[in-house]
Chain A
Amino acid sequence: MFLIRCPYCGEAREEQEFSYAGEAFIQRPPLTCSDEEWGDYLFKRKNIKGVTTEQWLHSAGCRRIFVMERNNVTYEILSIYTFESKRGAA
C-alpha cells in the first residue's frame, strides 16, 4: 500500500484516498489521423515492467490529478509532480 504525497495537499496520505487514472502523457492525435493511429491512441498502452509514468487522482482529497513516476516491480515511487510544474519546466 502506497503512502502518496499529494503535490497539491502537500501531505503523505494513504493509497485508499487515491485512484489510479491511467498512463500519463498520451498524445491525442489530430482529427486527420489514420484509423490505426486513432486505434493506437485509444487502446494501446505501453504496459511497461519497470518505471512507469502514471496519472493519479486524489479522489477522496483535493480531487486533483497529478503525475507519479514509479517502479511497478519494486513499488518504489521515484517522483510525484503536477502537470503545471511539468509545463513550467518545459
Chain B
Amino acid sequence: MKRLAPQAHERIDRSKTYQFTWQGESYYAYAGDTLASALLANGIDVVGRSFKYGRKRGILAAGVEEPNALVTLESGGYEVPNARATEIELYDQLNAKAASGIPSLRFDLRAALKPFHKFMVAGFYYKTFKWPQKLWPHYEHYLRQLAGFSEVPQQADAEHYDHQYQFVDVAVVGGGAAGLSAALTAAQSGASVLVIDERAELGGELSSEFASSAEAQQWFSSTKQALEQMPNVRILKRSTAFALHDFNLLLVIERRQDHVSLKQRNEKQSRQRQHRVRAKQVILATGSHERPLLFANNDLPGVLMASAMRRYLNEFAVLCGDKPVLAGNNDSIYALAEDLVKRAGVKPVVLDMRVGYDASRLIAAGIDVRQGYTILKASGSNRVEQVSIAKVYYDGKLWSASAATETLDCDVVATSGGFNPLVHLDCHTGSKPLFSNALQAFLPACDKPARISAGSVNGHSDWQACVQDGAYAAHQILGRLEKSVAPTTVKPELKLLNVAPFFCPTHQRNKIFIDMQNDVKASDIELAIRENYRSIEHIKRYTAMGFGTDQGKIGNVLGIALAAQLLNRSIPEVGTTTFRPMYTPVTMGALAGEEVGLLFDPQRFTPIHASHVARGAEFEVVGQWMRPWYFPKAIEHLYDAQSAEDLHTAVQRECLAVRNSVGVMDASTLGKIDIQGPDVREFLARVYTNAWAKLAPGKCRYGVMCDENGMIIDDGVTACLSDTHFVMTTTTGGAARIYNHLETWLQTEWPALKVYLTSVTDHWSTTAIVGPKARRVIEKLCSDIDFNAKAFPFMDWREGTVAGVPARVMRISFSGELSYEINVPANYGRYIWEQVMEAGKEFDITPYGTETMHVLRAEKGYIIVGQDTDGSLSPYDANMGWAVSLTKPYPFLGQRALTRSDTVRTDRKQLVGLLPHDAQKVLPEGTQLVNAIEDKAMIGHVTSSYLSPILGRSIAMAVVKAGLSRMGNTIYAKTVGGETIPVTIADSVFYDTAKEKLDGEV
C-alpha cells in the first residue's frame, strides 16, 4: 500500500501537506485526501472493530456507503460521533479515533469472547437476556457498554446550524454525468435549477474515467463551466439530499464547514445548513453503489470494493496493494485491472465467475485472467494474505462451486458483485423499486408525479449513456413545465455489464458477512428462515440486517437475494425492506437549525419583569410566561451573613400581608381577547354557560366555558365596554387554545354572527392591588374615579387616569379581598407598578407571586382550570350550577351534554373542600382518597392543598364521588409514602364565608 507518483487527474494537492492524528498518533497526508485515503496512504489496515464479535475491520468503500470505517472526529464541543472516514475531507490538525474497539483497536473484549461467538447468532439477545426478568437491568448495563460505536458527545455543540428554504423549477440530485447533463439541458430552457451533490467536487463516478478518457474530462469541464456561469443555476456541493417527501419537498444537508480546520472555521457561519427545497420537478441522478462478492472472511481488512480501489487509485493516487486479486461477476472488474496496469504497473489476478468475456487484451498484457472462478475464502491475521479459489458453474438457475482448487497469495482483494442503483429517495414516498433480471438490480419505479430518474440509477454503466439519459430526462420534465430546449434526445440503449445472478458459497456461511456494520452473517439469514421468518421485513428485524448507521446500503440486497434462494422464491417476490428517510445520518443540529436554546421554546416576559428581577423574585414558567413565583426577602444574620426566605416563609408573609394590609400582583399574563361586533352578546351567551344579554357597559361578569361534552375548559372575567365591545380574559395557559376554540366556532358554525376577535394579551399590562387597604393606595394615584364602595361596586370597571396614564380599572377579585386591577397599555406597565409600590409604601405594600395567589384563591374555594379540573368536571360537578343558564334562546356549547345519562349521575366526582383532622398536615396534591382506612377503591383525589396562614391550618380541594352530598363525612387520604390521613369533607369556601372582606377598609 503506498502513494504513487503524481497521477494525471488526481484530486490531491501535493503542495499542501496536512498533519493529522489517528488513535493518538501523528500522520501526514495531502490536501484533497479523505481521512480514508489518508489512512490507506499511511498503511493503516485496521480502522475498527465489529459490532458484535469485535472482528478487525478495514475500509471497504470510498464513499457514503462505507459500513466499517466509523470514527469519532475531534472532541469537546466539536466532537462528531460515527462519522465515516470515507466522507471526511482531511484538514490540517484533524484528530480522529476509531469509533469502536473496547478497550482499544489492538485488543477487543468481544474478540476475546471468541469461544462463545457460535452462540451469539441472530436473536441471541432476545433469547438469552429475557430471563430472569429481574436481571435485565444488569444485562442492559453490560450490553449498553458493548453496543454501538462512538460514545455520545458529553459537551454541547460549539457550532451552530441553520435552515434555508428554496423554491426551484428543477432540482437535480447528483452531480455526476447524468445529473450535470440533465441540469444543463434544463437550465438552457430558462428554468431555475438546483444541483445537489454530496462530494467536494462535482463529477461523481465520472471522475474515475478522467484518467482513461480525455473525452470524459473535456465534457465534464465544459459542462461544469457552462453551469457555473448560468444565473438560473445554483450548485450545492458537499450536500446530501437525505429525504424526498410528498409534493417534492427535498431535504438537503449542506456541510459548509466540516472540511475546514477547527482553527479556521468561521464561527459566524453555520457549520451545516438544512435546505428545504420545494421543486416543481425532481431529477434523480443519484447513481449506484457497487455490492461485493460473498465468501468466508470477506470482512478481512484489505478486502474492498473494486470501484473503491479504482477511486483510491485514480483520485488519490493510493495503491491499496501490490498483489491484488480482483474478483467479479460482471464486466466492470476489467476496467480496474486495466487501470492497475497502466497507472501502477501492477498485474492483478482477475477472477471472473462468468466465462466468455473477451479479455484477450489483458491476457496479452500478461494478466492472469481466470474465467469461471471465484473466491471461497480469504485468510490472514491483520489483513488479507491469501484467498482460496474454486471453479463455479451456473446451471441456468443456481450457481455451484467445486472444492477449493488453489490458494493465491495476495495483499488486497477487490470485488464487484454488481450494482445497487440508489433508489432510496424515490422510495421515501412509498414507491416500491422494480427488479430487473437483465441488470440484477432494483430500479426506481418513479411512479409518483413530478419526478424522473436518470443515469446509472436507471442501470446505465457507460458515461456517454448517462449523459444522454440525463438530457432525455430533462426534456421529459421540461415538457411538463411547458418549457423546451432544442435539440431533443432519445432514450439511450442500456449497455449491460452482464452481471451474473447472485451467488453465496455454502462453505463456512458463519464467516460470510452480509451486513458488516451489524455483524449479520449468511448463517444468520439461514437461521431466521429455519425459525420460520418469511417476510423480508421480519428477517431484517430478527437478524438486525440493515439497522446500522449505513442502513444496509451495501448488504441489504445481498441479504434479500440470499433469503430468496433459501425461500425458493424470486428476488422480486421477496421484495425489499422499506426505504425511509434519512438516506444518510443527519446531525441533530442540522435538523433543529436555529430552534435551539431560547428559540426552542420562546419565553415570554411581562412588561414589569425587570422590576420583579430587581426585587429578587423567584420565577416559575406558566405556559411560556415567566411569572414571579414568590418574592423572598433577605434575612440578616449575625456577622453580616445573609440568606433569603424559603418558599414557605415567603408565602406565609405574603398571604398575611394581603389579608391584613395590601399586596400587589402582576396579572399581565392572563389571556385577553378583544371582542367587537353587533353580535358579541349572543356570541358570549353561546360560548359561556351563563347569561350575557343584560350585562351593562361598565360591568364585568365571571363566565365558565365548556366544550361540547359539557366539561369545563376555561373560566375568566369579561368586561362590557359597550354594547358592541367586550374584553374577555382567559387563563394564562389557555389563552391560545381558547382563542382558537372561539375562532373555530365563529368561522365554521356561526359565520352569520358579526363578531371579531383580536388577541390583545400583549397589549395590556395588569397590576392588581389587593387587600383591605387597596382603596387607600389607588386613591393616591387616581383622582378621576370615585372609589367609594357603593359608587364603584364589586364586578364593575371604570375608565380613568392612574398616575397620569389612561387606564381601565376593574374591581374584580381572585382572593376575596378588595381588589383593583389596573389595566394600562403595556409600555406603561412597569411605570404603573413602580408608582403603586411607591404609593403603597406607607402601608408596607407587599408584592406577591403565583404561590400566594394560589393559597388565597384556595382559601376562597376558587378553582383553577387545569388544576382543580381535568376535562372531566362539569359546572355542576364543580358546584357552579349558579353559573349555568339553561333558558338561553340558543343553547350554549355543552348544554345538551349536561343532561346526558352519564353527566346527571349523582355519584360523579364533585369538587369539595377537605379539612385534615391534623390541622398541620398538608396533603400532597394528587393523593388518592378512600372511604375507609382499609379500602383500596379510590373515590377521588386531592386537586389543591396548602397550609393557610390566615386560618392557621391546612386546607385542600378535592374531587370526591358524590362529595357535595357528603359534607361533614370523614374519608381518608392515602399518600404515596403509605400514610393514611383522616380528613373531613367540607364546603370549599374556607375563609370569609359571609363575604365581609370584599369591600375592604371603609
**B794 shortest CB reach to chain A, Å:** 34
Of B740, B891, B895, B901, most A-chain CB atoms within 10 Å: B740
Per-residue CB contact flags for chain A residues 59-90 toward chain B (1 = under 8 Å, else 0) read 10001110000000001000000011001000
Q: Which of B246, B748, B751, B891 contacts A55 (CB 8 A)?
A: B748
- CB nearest neighbor in A for B759: A63
* Contact status B747-A38, CB under 8 Å: no
Q: Does A57 contact B (CB under 8 A)?
A: yes
- CB nearest neighbor in B for A55: B748
* Contact status B895-A28, CB under 8 Å: no
Q: Which of A21, A28, A29, A84 contacts B751 (CB 8 A)?
A: A84
Q: Does B897 contact A (CB under 8 A)?
A: yes
Contacts of A87 in B (CB 8 A): 751
Contacts of A84 in B (CB 8 A): 751
Q: How far is the CA of A4 from the CA of B901 in the complex (A)?
A: 43
Q: How many A-B residue pairs have CB under 8 A?
A: 49
**B904 shortest CB reach to chain A, Å:** 10
Per-residue CB contact flags for chain B residues 865-907 toward chain A (1 = under 8 Å, else 0) read 0000000000000000000000000010001110011000000
Per-residue CB contact flags for chain B residues 730-751 toward chain A (1 = under 8 Å, else 0) read 0000000000100110011101
* Contact status B246-A1, CB under 8 Å: yes
Q: How far is the CA of A45 from the CA of B323 in the complex (A)?
A: 70
Q: Does B245 contact A (CB under 8 A)?
A: yes
Q: Does B278 contact A (CB under 8 A)?
A: yes
Contacts of B751 in A (CB 8 A): 83-84, 87
Q: Which of B709, B747, B891 contacts A65 (CB 8 A)?
A: B747
Chain B stretch 240-285: residues in CB contact (< 8 A) with chain A: 245-247, 249, 276, 278
Per-residue CB contact flags for chain B residues 412-436 toward chain A (1 = under 8 Å, else 0) read 0000000000000000010000000
- CB nearest neighbor in B for A22: B744
Bin the interface of chain A by size.
20 to 34
Q: Using known A-B contacts A2-B246, A42-B709, determine if residue A21 contacts B897 with beta carbons closer than 8 Å.
A: no
* Contact status B747-A83, CB under 8 Å: yes
* Contact status A63-B246, CB under 8 Å: no
Q: Which of A3, A28, A31, A83 contacts B247 (CB 8 A)?
A: A3
* Contact status B748-A38, CB under 8 Å: no
**B511 shortest CB reach to chain A, Å:** 45
Q: Does B645 contact A (CB under 8 A)?
A: no
Q: Using known A-B contacts A31-B895, A65-B748, determine if residue A38 contacts B247 with beta carbons closer than 8 Å.
A: no
**B992 shortest CB reach to chain A, Å:** 39
* Contact status B744-A31, CB under 8 Å: no
Q: Which of A29, A39, A63 contacts B743 (CB 8 A)?
A: A63
- CB nearest neighbor in A for B708: A42
* Contact status A42-B744, CB under 8 Å: no
Q: Using known A-B contacts A1-B249, A3-B278, A42-B708, determine if residue A31 contacts B748 with beta carbons closer than 8 Å.
A: no
Q: How far is the CA of A24 from the CA of B744 in the complex (A)?
A: 11
- CB nearest neighbor in B for A19: B740
* Contact status B900-A35, CB under 8 Å: yes
Per-residue CB contact flags for chain B residues 714-735 toward chain A (1 = under 8 Å, else 0) read 0000000000000000000000
Q: How far is the CA of A3 from the CA of B895 in the complex (A)?
A: 39
**A69 shortest CB reach to chain B, Å:** 16
Contacts of A14 in B (CB 8 A): 165, 276, 278
**A63 shortest CB reach to chain B, Å:** 7
**A56 shortest CB reach to chain B, Å:** 11
* Contact status A42-B748, CB under 8 Å: no
Q: How far is the CA of A59 from the CA of B747 in the complex (A)?
A: 13
Q: Which of B246, B743, B748, B896 contacts A75 (CB 8 A)?
A: B246
Chain A stretch 1-59: residues in CB contact (< 8 A) with chain B: 1-3, 14, 21, 24, 28-29, 31, 33, 35, 38-39, 41-42, 55, 57, 59
Contacts of B709 in A (CB 8 A): 42
Q: Which of B246, B743, B749, B897 contacts A28 (CB 8 A)?
A: B749
Q: How far is the CA of A41 from the CA of B854 in the complex (A)?
A: 37
Contacts of B740 in A (CB 8 A): 57, 59
Chain B stretch 151-168: residues in CB contact (< 8 A) with chain A: 165
**B891 shortest CB reach to chain A, Å:** 5
Chain B stretch 426-458: residues in CB contact (< 8 A) with chain A: 429
* Contact status B747-A64, CB under 8 Å: yes
Contacts of A63 in B (CB 8 A): 743
Q: How far is the CA of A39 from the CA of B901 in the complex (A)?
A: 11
Contacts of A65 in B (CB 8 A): 743-744, 747-748
- CB nearest neighbor in B for A65: B747
Contacts of A64 in B (CB 8 A): 747
* Contact status B896-A31, CB under 8 Å: yes
**A15 shortest CB reach to chain B, Å:** 8
Q: List 10 A-B contacts (CB under 8 A).
A: A1-B245, A1-B246, A1-B247, A3-B278, A28-B749, A38-B896, A57-B744, A64-B747, A65-B748, A84-B751
Supplied contacts A1-B245, A42-B709, 6 more A-B pairs, CB within 8 Å:
A1-B246, A14-B278, A31-B896, A38-B896, A38-B897, A83-B751
